[in-house]
Amino acid sequence: NTNVSHNLASGEYNIRRSQCEEGVRVIKQKYAEVHSLRDVSKDLLNEFKDELSEVIFNRCKYVVEEKQRVLNSVEALKKSLLHKLGENMYKTHEGLQNLYEVSCSELDFLVDFSKKYDEVIGARMMGGGFGGCTINIIHRDAV
């Protein structure tokens, strides 16, 4: 727990949602079948890199990449590949930090700190961001 209040989370969540909707609006002008970022692949999004502002592109990129990470994490869990789940958790946090920009220095510290320990398989922020907690996957014998 960072003990940092989530004061910004609700307003910033609405801003992020609006930014993603703007990305969809631009893509939909050329691809009418696109109704949400769920319908957008990484390759399709890259077609619009020059048409979207850097911020809008980064927000959309995070969502598109996270969509695939979730699917990859499901497969990793089905196969008991916890190290793959852990890798995906760290990548999710990097995206939340750098592309979606909802992390904070305290969350980043906790995730980075966890990387120093082999007992920690993966970590990421959870919740709306801007404070709060990380979630960590830890080897059973190290809990």
Distance separating alpha carbons of residues 125 and 133, to the nearest angstrom = 6
Residue 45 lies in a domain: yes
Examine the pLDDT at 130 and tell me if it is beyond 90.
Answer: no
Residue 132 lies in a domain: no
Residue 38 lies in a domain: yes
Residue 122 lies in a domain: no
Q: What is the mean pLDDT of the chain?
A: 94
Mean pLDDT of the 92-105 span: 96
Residue 108 lies in a domain: no
For residue 80, report the phi and psi dihedrals to the nearest 5 degrees. Answer: 55, 35
Residue 83 DSSP SS3: helix
Q: What is the CATH number of the domain that holds 46?
A: 3.30.70.890
Residue 36: predicted pLDDT = 97
Residue 107 lies in a domain: no
Residue 140 lies in a domain: no
Examine the pLDDT at 10 and tell me if it is beyond 80.
Answer: no
Domain span at residue 45 reads 8-102
**Count of structural domains within the chain:** 1
Residue 143 lies in a domain: no
Residue 129: predicted pLDDT = 82
